[in-house]
Amino acid sequence: MSTELKPCPMCANHAAYVRHAAGIKGTMGYDSWHGISCKSCGVSIGTSDRRFREKEEVAAAWNVRAAAQIGLDREGEGKE
Ligand SMILES: [Zn+2]
pLDDT in tens, 47-68: 988 999 999 999 999 999 988 8
Cβ-count burial of 55 within 10 angstroms (0-12 exposed, 13-18 middle, 19+ buried)? middle
CA of 19 to the centre of ligand 1 (A): 18
pLDDT(9) > 60: yes
Residue 24 CA, ligand 1 centroid: distance in Å: 31
**What pLDDT, on the 0 to 100 scale, is given for residue 2?**
60
Instruction: Kindly tell me if the per-residue pLDDT of 26 is higher than 50.
Output: yes
Q: How far is the CA of 76 from the centre of ligand 1 (A)?
A: 25
When pLDDT is cut at 50, 70 and 90, the band that residue 3 belongs to is confident
Give the domain ranges of the chain: 15-70
Q: Give residues with Cβ within 8 angstroms of 20, minimum separation 6.
A: 32, 33, 34, 35, 46, 47, 50
φ, ψ for residue 34, nearest 5 deg: -110, 145
Separation of CA 61 and ligand 1 centre (Å): 15
